[in-house]
Amino acid sequence: TDGTKNGGVGVFINYGLVDNKGTINVEKDSVANSNGVGIYAVNGSNITNNGSINVSGKEAIGILGVAYRTDSKGKNVVDEFGTSAIGQGKVNILNKGNISLDGQGATGIFAKNNKTGATLTNAIAINDTTGKVTTTGIKAVGMSGEKAEIINRGTIEVKGQEGTGMFAKSNSRIENSGTINIIASTSASKPNIGIFTEDVNTKVYNNKNIIGGNNTYGIFGKTINMGSNGKIKVGDNSVGIYSNGQYSSSASSTINLALGSTIEVGKNQSVGLFTTGKNQNISSQADMKIGDNSYGYVVKGTGTKLSTNSTNPVTVGNDTVFTYSTDRSGTIENRATLTSTGSKNYGIYAAGTATNLGDINFGSGVGNVGMYS
Protein backbone atom coordinates (compact mmCIF):
# COMPACT_ATOMS: atom_id res chain seq x y z
CA THR A 1 0.00 0.00 0.00
CA ASP A 2 2.39 2.72 1.28
CA GLY A 3 0.03 5.54 0.36
CA THR A 4 0.38 5.45 -3.42
CA LYS A 5 -3.37 4.80 -3.82
CA ASN A 6 -4.42 4.23 -7.43
CA GLY A 7 -1.56 5.92 -9.26
CA GLY A 8 1.08 4.15 -11.29
CA VAL A 9 4.63 3.61 -10.02
CA GLY A 10 7.56 3.63 -12.41
CA VAL A 11 10.09 1.91 -10.12
CA PHE A 12 9.63 0.48 -6.62
CA ILE A 13 12.56 -0.57 -4.45
CA ASN A 14 12.69 -1.98 -0.91
CA TYR A 15 16.09 -2.15 0.81
CA GLY A 16 18.03 -1.68 -2.39
CA LEU A 17 19.76 0.67 -4.80
CA VAL A 18 18.36 2.54 -7.80
CA ASP A 19 20.44 4.44 -10.36
CA ASN A 20 18.22 5.74 -13.13
CA LYS A 21 20.07 6.80 -16.28
CA GLY A 22 17.12 6.64 -18.64
CA THR A 23 13.66 8.16 -18.87
CA ILE A 24 10.75 7.27 -16.60
CA ASN A 25 7.28 8.39 -17.68
CA VAL A 26 4.32 7.79 -15.35
CA GLU A 27 0.66 8.67 -15.99
CA LYS A 28 1.55 10.55 -19.17
CA ASP A 29 -1.52 9.28 -21.04
CA SER A 30 -4.32 11.64 -22.06
CA VAL A 31 -6.23 10.73 -18.87
CA ALA A 32 -3.78 10.56 -15.96
CA ASN A 33 -4.58 8.89 -12.64
CA SER A 34 -3.75 10.76 -9.46
CA ASN A 35 -0.97 9.83 -7.01
CA GLY A 36 1.48 8.52 -9.58
CA VAL A 37 5.13 8.09 -8.51
CA GLY A 38 8.24 7.97 -10.68
CA ILE A 39 10.59 6.20 -8.24
CA TYR A 40 9.30 4.90 -4.91
CA ALA A 41 11.89 3.69 -2.40
CA VAL A 42 11.61 2.50 1.20
CA ASN A 43 13.56 0.93 4.05
CA GLY A 44 17.26 1.54 3.68
CA SER A 45 17.13 2.30 -0.02
CA ASN A 46 19.38 4.68 -1.93
CA ILE A 47 18.11 6.43 -5.05
CA THR A 48 20.14 8.27 -7.66
CA ASN A 49 18.54 9.86 -10.69
CA ASN A 50 20.86 10.72 -13.56
CA GLY A 51 18.11 10.63 -16.16
CA SER A 52 14.64 12.09 -16.56
CA ILE A 53 11.49 11.49 -14.52
CA ASN A 54 8.18 12.81 -15.85
CA VAL A 55 4.97 12.28 -13.88
CA SER A 56 1.48 13.65 -14.55
CA GLY A 57 -1.73 13.73 -12.54
CA LYS A 58 -2.88 15.21 -9.25
CA GLU A 59 -0.78 14.64 -6.12
CA ALA A 60 1.95 12.99 -8.20
CA ILE A 61 5.51 12.58 -6.88
CA GLY A 62 8.72 12.37 -8.91
CA ILE A 63 10.83 10.58 -6.28
CA LEU A 64 9.31 9.37 -3.02
CA GLY A 65 11.56 8.05 -0.26
CA VAL A 66 10.20 6.71 3.05
CA ALA A 67 12.32 5.35 5.90
CA TYR A 68 10.00 2.36 6.52
CA ARG A 69 7.43 0.71 4.32
CA THR A 70 3.91 0.80 5.76
CA ASP A 71 1.34 -1.99 5.62
CA SER A 72 -2.35 -1.84 4.65
CA LYS A 73 -3.19 -0.54 8.13
CA GLY A 74 -0.67 2.28 7.94
CA LYS A 75 1.78 0.67 10.38
CA ASN A 76 5.53 0.67 9.84
CA VAL A 77 7.04 -2.64 8.71
CA VAL A 78 10.09 -2.73 10.98
CA ASP A 79 13.10 -5.04 10.45
CA GLU A 80 11.48 -6.51 7.36
CA PHE A 81 14.73 -8.22 6.40
CA GLY A 82 15.72 -9.30 9.90
CA THR A 83 17.39 -7.52 12.78
CA SER A 84 20.87 -8.11 11.37
CA ALA A 85 20.18 -6.26 8.10
CA ILE A 86 22.15 -3.01 8.31
CA GLY A 87 20.71 0.34 7.32
CA GLN A 88 17.00 -0.37 7.52
CA GLY A 89 14.73 2.53 8.43
CA LYS A 90 16.61 5.04 6.30
CA VAL A 91 16.32 6.54 2.84
CA ASN A 92 18.66 8.65 0.72
CA ILE A 93 17.69 10.49 -2.45
CA LEU A 94 20.12 12.14 -4.89
CA ASN A 95 18.85 13.85 -8.02
CA LYS A 96 21.40 14.73 -10.69
CA GLY A 97 18.96 14.72 -13.58
CA ASN A 98 15.60 16.22 -14.47
CA ILE A 99 12.27 15.81 -12.69
CA SER A 100 9.15 17.30 -14.25
CA LEU A 101 5.57 17.32 -12.94
CA ASP A 102 2.52 19.06 -14.37
CA GLY A 103 -0.29 18.06 -12.00
CA GLN A 104 -2.10 19.88 -9.23
CA GLY A 105 -0.56 19.34 -5.80
CA ALA A 106 2.41 17.46 -7.25
CA THR A 107 5.80 17.13 -5.52
CA GLY A 108 9.14 16.73 -7.25
CA ILE A 109 11.05 15.02 -4.41
CA PHE A 110 9.54 13.92 -1.10
CA ALA A 111 11.57 12.46 1.79
CA LYS A 112 9.66 11.13 4.79
CA ASN A 113 11.20 9.84 7.99
CA ASN A 114 8.61 7.67 9.72
CA LYS A 115 11.06 5.86 11.99
CA THR A 116 10.13 6.39 15.65
CA GLY A 117 12.74 8.32 17.60
CA ALA A 118 15.01 8.76 14.60
CA THR A 119 16.82 11.96 13.68
CA LEU A 120 16.19 13.84 10.47
CA THR A 121 19.33 12.28 8.95
CA ASN A 122 17.38 9.04 8.47
CA ALA A 123 15.74 10.69 5.47
CA ILE A 124 17.88 12.89 3.25
CA ALA A 125 17.01 14.30 -0.16
CA ILE A 126 19.46 16.27 -2.29
CA ASN A 127 18.85 18.00 -5.58
CA ASP A 128 22.47 18.11 -6.72
CA THR A 129 24.26 20.80 -8.73
CA THR A 130 23.18 19.32 -12.08
CA GLY A 131 19.69 18.46 -10.84
CA LYS A 132 16.59 20.30 -11.96
CA VAL A 133 13.05 20.04 -10.60
CA THR A 134 10.25 21.72 -12.55
CA THR A 135 6.62 22.02 -11.48
CA THR A 136 3.91 23.62 -13.60
CA GLY A 137 0.69 22.64 -11.81
CA ILE A 138 -1.25 24.61 -9.22
CA LYS A 139 -0.23 24.10 -5.56
CA ALA A 140 2.82 22.05 -6.53
CA VAL A 141 6.05 21.72 -4.50
CA GLY A 142 9.59 21.22 -5.77
CA MET A 143 11.04 19.43 -2.71
CA SER A 144 9.29 18.34 0.48
CA GLY A 145 10.43 16.77 3.74
CA GLU A 146 8.87 15.37 6.90
CA LYS A 147 11.30 14.93 9.80
CA ALA A 148 13.91 14.98 7.07
CA GLU A 149 16.77 16.98 5.61
CA ILE A 150 16.15 18.45 2.17
CA ILE A 151 18.92 20.23 0.27
CA ASN A 152 18.82 22.04 -3.06
CA ARG A 153 22.16 22.55 -4.78
CA GLY A 154 20.73 22.67 -8.28
CA THR A 155 17.68 24.40 -9.73
CA ILE A 156 14.03 24.37 -8.74
CA GLU A 157 11.59 25.98 -11.17
CA VAL A 158 8.15 26.87 -9.78
CA LYS A 159 6.01 27.68 -12.82
CA GLY A 160 2.52 27.04 -11.47
CA GLN A 161 0.27 29.22 -9.32
CA GLU A 162 0.19 28.83 -5.51
CA GLY A 163 3.45 26.92 -5.89
CA THR A 164 6.32 26.38 -3.46
CA GLY A 165 9.97 25.62 -4.12
CA MET A 166 10.81 23.80 -0.85
CA PHE A 167 8.54 22.76 2.02
CA ALA A 168 9.15 20.83 5.23
CA LYS A 169 7.64 20.10 8.65
CA SER A 170 8.16 18.02 11.81
CA ASN A 171 11.65 19.02 12.95
CA SER A 172 13.17 19.09 9.49
CA ARG A 173 16.04 21.05 7.97
CA ILE A 174 15.73 23.01 4.73
CA GLU A 175 18.82 24.21 2.87
CA ASN A 176 18.97 26.08 -0.41
CA SER A 177 22.46 26.27 -1.85
CA GLY A 178 21.27 26.44 -5.44
CA THR A 179 18.64 28.48 -7.25
CA ILE A 180 14.89 28.62 -6.73
CA ASN A 181 12.98 30.49 -9.43
CA ILE A 182 9.39 31.47 -8.63
CA ILE A 183 6.93 32.64 -11.25
CA ALA A 184 4.91 35.78 -10.48
CA SER A 185 1.57 35.09 -8.83
CA THR A 186 -1.60 36.27 -10.52
CA SER A 187 -3.17 36.88 -7.08
CA ALA A 188 -1.83 39.17 -4.36
CA SER A 189 -3.57 37.03 -1.71
CA LYS A 190 -2.09 33.74 -2.98
CA PRO A 191 1.65 34.31 -3.34
CA ASN A 192 4.06 31.79 -4.76
CA ILE A 193 6.77 30.96 -2.20
CA GLY A 194 10.42 29.95 -2.45
CA ILE A 195 10.81 28.18 0.92
CA PHE A 196 7.88 27.50 3.24
CA THR A 197 7.43 26.00 6.69
CA GLU A 198 4.99 26.60 9.54
CA ASP A 199 7.00 24.46 11.97
CA VAL A 200 8.98 26.36 14.61
CA ASN A 201 11.37 23.40 14.88
CA THR A 202 12.17 23.32 11.16
CA LYS A 203 15.16 25.54 10.44
CA VAL A 204 15.73 27.27 7.12
CA TYR A 205 19.15 27.98 5.59
CA ASN A 206 19.44 30.01 2.40
CA ASN A 207 22.96 30.13 1.00
CA LYS A 208 22.29 31.12 -2.59
CA ASN A 209 19.49 32.38 -4.84
CA ILE A 210 15.75 32.73 -4.45
CA ILE A 211 14.36 34.75 -7.35
CA GLY A 212 10.66 35.62 -7.54
CA GLY A 213 8.32 37.74 -9.62
CA ASN A 214 5.53 39.99 -8.39
CA ASN A 215 3.29 38.77 -5.53
CA THR A 216 5.84 36.28 -4.20
CA TYR A 217 7.50 35.40 -0.88
CA GLY A 218 11.16 34.40 -0.82
CA ILE A 219 10.99 32.59 2.54
CA PHE A 220 8.04 32.00 4.86
CA GLY A 221 9.24 30.39 8.09
CA LYS A 222 10.25 30.74 11.72
CA THR A 223 13.97 30.27 12.39
CA ILE A 224 15.84 31.52 9.33
CA ASN A 225 19.51 31.86 8.41
CA MET A 226 21.02 33.54 5.35
CA GLY A 227 24.62 32.73 4.49
CA SER A 228 27.14 35.20 3.08
CA ASN A 229 26.20 34.24 -0.49
CA GLY A 230 22.48 34.16 0.20
CA LYS A 231 20.34 36.26 -2.11
CA ILE A 232 16.61 36.92 -2.24
CA LYS A 233 15.16 39.02 -5.04
CA VAL A 234 11.39 39.43 -5.37
CA GLY A 235 9.15 41.79 -7.33
CA ASP A 236 6.39 44.25 -6.57
CA ASN A 237 3.97 43.63 -3.69
CA SER A 238 6.25 40.88 -2.41
CA VAL A 239 8.08 39.86 0.76
CA GLY A 240 11.69 38.72 0.93
CA ILE A 241 11.41 36.95 4.30
CA TYR A 242 8.32 36.51 6.46
CA SER A 243 8.67 35.08 9.97
CA ASN A 244 5.96 34.63 12.59
CA GLY A 245 7.89 32.66 15.19
CA GLN A 246 6.77 32.46 18.81
CA TYR A 247 9.61 32.09 21.34
CA SER A 248 9.78 32.01 25.14
CA SER A 249 12.63 34.53 25.21
CA SER A 250 14.71 36.63 22.85
CA ALA A 251 18.05 35.37 24.20
CA SER A 252 18.95 33.44 21.04
CA SER A 253 18.99 34.64 17.45
CA THR A 254 15.92 33.52 15.51
CA ILE A 255 16.75 35.26 12.23
CA ASN A 256 20.37 35.73 11.19
CA LEU A 257 21.29 37.43 7.91
CA ALA A 258 25.04 37.20 7.39
CA LEU A 259 27.40 39.84 6.06
CA GLY A 260 27.38 39.64 2.27
CA SER A 261 23.80 38.42 1.97
CA THR A 262 21.32 40.44 -0.08
CA ILE A 263 17.59 41.10 -0.04
CA GLU A 264 16.07 43.07 -2.91
CA VAL A 265 12.37 43.88 -3.15
CA GLY A 266 10.28 45.71 -5.72
CA LYS A 267 7.74 48.49 -5.47
CA ASN A 268 4.20 48.83 -4.13
CA GLN A 269 4.26 47.78 -0.47
CA SER A 270 6.98 45.16 -0.76
CA VAL A 271 8.89 44.26 2.42
CA GLY A 272 12.43 42.95 2.76
CA LEU A 273 11.94 41.30 6.17
CA PHE A 274 8.50 41.11 7.80
CA THR A 275 8.28 39.71 11.34
CA THR A 276 5.40 39.05 13.70
CA GLY A 277 5.16 36.66 16.64
CA LYS A 278 6.86 36.96 20.01
CA ASN A 279 10.44 37.48 21.21
CA GLN A 280 12.05 37.45 17.79
CA ASN A 281 15.79 38.16 17.84
CA ILE A 282 16.92 39.44 14.46
CA SER A 283 20.51 40.13 13.47
CA SER A 284 20.88 41.51 9.97
CA GLN A 285 24.06 42.44 8.13
CA ALA A 286 22.32 41.98 4.79
CA ASP A 287 22.43 44.53 2.00
CA MET A 288 18.84 45.75 1.71
CA LYS A 289 17.59 47.12 -1.62
CA ILE A 290 14.12 48.68 -1.42
CA GLY A 291 11.84 49.73 -4.28
CA ASP A 292 9.68 52.84 -4.15
CA ASN A 293 6.69 52.79 -1.78
CA SER A 294 8.15 49.78 0.06
CA TYR A 295 9.82 48.77 3.32
CA GLY A 296 13.11 47.28 4.41
CA TYR A 297 12.13 45.87 7.82
CA VAL A 298 8.63 45.64 9.29
CA VAL A 299 8.17 44.52 12.90
CA LYS A 300 4.65 43.80 14.15
CA GLY A 301 5.27 41.31 16.94
CA THR A 302 6.07 41.80 20.62
CA GLY A 303 9.40 41.70 22.44
CA THR A 304 11.36 41.93 19.19
CA LYS A 305 15.08 42.69 19.08
CA LEU A 306 16.27 44.01 15.72
CA SER A 307 19.87 44.86 14.91
CA THR A 308 20.79 46.14 11.42
CA ASN A 309 24.35 46.75 10.24
CA SER A 310 25.18 46.43 6.55
CA THR A 311 28.59 47.24 5.12
CA ASN A 312 27.21 48.95 2.02
CA PRO A 313 25.03 52.06 2.39
CA VAL A 314 21.29 51.62 1.90
CA THR A 315 20.08 54.00 -0.79
CA VAL A 316 16.35 54.59 -1.20
CA GLY A 317 14.24 56.53 -3.69
CA ASN A 318 10.72 57.67 -2.85
CA ASP A 319 8.09 56.82 -0.22
CA THR A 320 10.14 54.16 1.56
CA VAL A 321 10.67 53.18 5.18
CA PHE A 322 13.91 51.43 6.06
CA THR A 323 12.63 50.15 9.43
CA TYR A 324 9.01 50.28 10.60
CA SER A 325 7.94 48.88 13.97
CA THR A 326 4.67 48.84 15.93
CA ASP A 327 6.29 46.82 18.74
CA ARG A 328 6.16 48.99 21.87
CA SER A 329 8.10 46.41 23.89
CA GLY A 330 10.78 45.87 21.24
CA THR A 331 14.19 47.40 20.63
CA ILE A 332 15.84 48.53 17.41
CA GLU A 333 19.52 49.30 16.86
CA ASN A 334 20.69 50.52 13.48
CA ARG A 335 24.32 50.87 12.41
CA ALA A 336 23.70 50.95 8.65
CA THR A 337 24.28 54.09 6.60
CA LEU A 338 21.07 55.38 5.00
CA THR A 339 20.87 57.76 2.04
CA SER A 340 18.02 58.93 -0.18
CA THR A 341 17.77 60.19 -3.74
CA GLY A 342 14.09 61.15 -3.53
CA SER A 343 11.34 62.32 -1.21
CA LYS A 344 8.98 61.21 1.56
CA ASN A 345 11.25 58.58 3.08
CA TYR A 346 11.59 57.47 6.69
CA GLY A 347 14.79 55.99 8.05
CA ILE A 348 13.39 54.54 11.28
CA TYR A 349 9.75 54.72 12.37
CA ALA A 350 9.37 52.95 15.70
CA ALA A 351 6.79 52.67 18.48
CA GLY A 352 9.30 51.21 20.93
CA THR A 353 12.92 51.91 21.82
CA ALA A 354 15.09 52.79 18.83
CA THR A 355 18.78 53.67 18.68
CA ASN A 356 20.56 54.93 15.57
CA LEU A 357 24.35 54.59 15.43
CA GLY A 358 24.67 54.96 11.66
CA ASP A 359 24.72 57.97 9.34
CA ILE A 360 21.39 59.07 7.85
CA ASN A 361 21.65 61.44 4.88
CA PHE A 362 18.15 62.27 3.68
CA GLY A 363 19.04 65.76 2.42
CA SER A 364 17.68 65.29 -1.08
CA GLY A 365 14.03 65.83 -1.96
CA VAL A 366 11.33 66.95 0.44
CA GLY A 367 9.47 65.41 3.35
CA ASN A 368 12.21 63.00 4.41
CA VAL A 369 12.47 61.99 8.09
CA GLY A 370 15.57 60.34 9.47
CA MET A 371 14.05 58.97 12.67
CA TYR A 372 10.60 59.04 14.28
CA SER A 373 9.97 57.31 17.59
Q: What is the mean pLDDT of the chain?
A: 95
Give the C-alpha distances (Å, rounded to integers) separating 333 from 60, 105, 127, 228, 308.
Answer: 47, 43, 39, 21, 6
Residue 212's pLDDT is 99
Residue 332 has pLDDT above 60, yes or no: yes
Which distant-in-sequence residues (6+ apart) come within 8 Å of 11 by Cβ? 18, 20, 24, 38, 39, 40
Instruction: Give φ, ψ of 122 to 5 degrees.
Output: -75, -15
- Residue range 282-309: mean pLDDT, rounded: 98
* 371: amino acid identity, one letter: M
Q: Say how far apart CA 126 and CA 188 lie, in whole Å.
A: 31
| Domain annotation covers residue 356 | yes
Q: Say how far apart CA 170 and CA 113 lie, in whole Å.
A: 10
- Say how many C-beta atoms besides its own lie within 10 A of residue 184's C-beta: 17
For the chain, percent of residues with pLDDT exceeding 90: 87
Residue 28 has pLDDT above 90, yes or no: no
Residue 30's pLDDT is 53
| Domain annotation covers residue 99 | yes
Residue 32 has pLDDT above 80, yes or no: no
| Domain annotation covers residue 1 | no
Residue 1's pLDDT is 39
- Residue range 321-344: mean pLDDT, rounded: 98
pLDDT band at 61 (very low <50, low <70, confident <90, very high): very high
Residue 373's pLDDT is 86
Pairing between β-strand 231-233 and β-strand 209-212 as defined by DSSP bridges: parallel
- Residue range 133-138: mean pLDDT, rounded: 98
For the chain, percent of residues with pLDDT exceeding 70: 97
> What residues make up the domain containing 244?
9-372
| Domain annotation covers residue 4 | no
**Domain total of the chain:** 1
| Domain annotation covers residue 128 | yes
Q: Taking the model in full, what pTM does it have?
A: 0.96
| Domain annotation covers residue 327 | yes
| Domain annotation covers residue 216 | yes
| Domain annotation covers residue 3 | no
Distance of CA 189 to the CA centre of its chain: 18
